[in-house]
Structure 1
């Protein structure tokens, strides 16, 4: 008996359907966030926000990021590498590999600049302690590429209720 549809075709069709439905759910969820107050959307109170909810990049910040990008790149970046940053709740860069600066913009809003391009990188962040003791306060964290800054990462931290809150964090950057 001949098979009309292969298992692979069924799996691909099912996967496409799932992704389509998941994408629609994300789009519907996104439209409801616009009704939240600015503080819950992560918008900074004293700086104009870009469309993605990040503070606008100033000319001085862009120049500093560009200078950090050209400071020198170690040979380990040729075949991929892992960089990291440990940042305090006040925005101080405490420990790092390849991170050159951290900036705090507002409640729970941080920027971390690295000495290399991160355009093809993956980011992983977690709320973490900055000392050698204790468990950190509970909270949530999100991470994204920094607008108009190819070597920057934007991090937002929240309390357990989803309200922007200052939290120390650990950030890992993986490049192919």
Structure 2
């Protein structure tokens, strides 16, 4: 005997909703974990992967530092989202010496005002800084007094020298 088994269409829809709910739960867990990691003193930059470092900016603040550690890297790069107008940038090596600033030709800045809809601030990007020294690096931002609470987000990427 052949019996046909038919599943109602709603079964597939519920399956998709379950998968979407699991993805949302995973995203919330990742955000919670990254928020707790970002408050650490120094976030390690994993080789050949990206790390996200964040810093809260309260109204009236004029500067913020984002610190991350580098070990065994051949190159260092980042994309830094700064939702504040008039921000200047300095990258400090582990010895506290400036390596890059806002005017460095190796650094690019994509302004948010050219987006649709226009956004405040912009994105500083560095594709590759060769042979970064091992240790704690600092991205220092200075800006006019922040008009509202916001967050600065840096995606750090390093490539292994091995």
Tell which structure's C-alpha radius of gyration is larger. 2
Question: Which has more strand, going by share of residues?
Answer: 2
Q: Do both proteins adopt the same fold according to a TM-score greater than 0.5, normalized to the shorter chain?
A: no
TM-score scaled by length of structure 1: 0.32
Structure with the bigger RCO (C-alpha within 8 Å, sep 6+) is 2
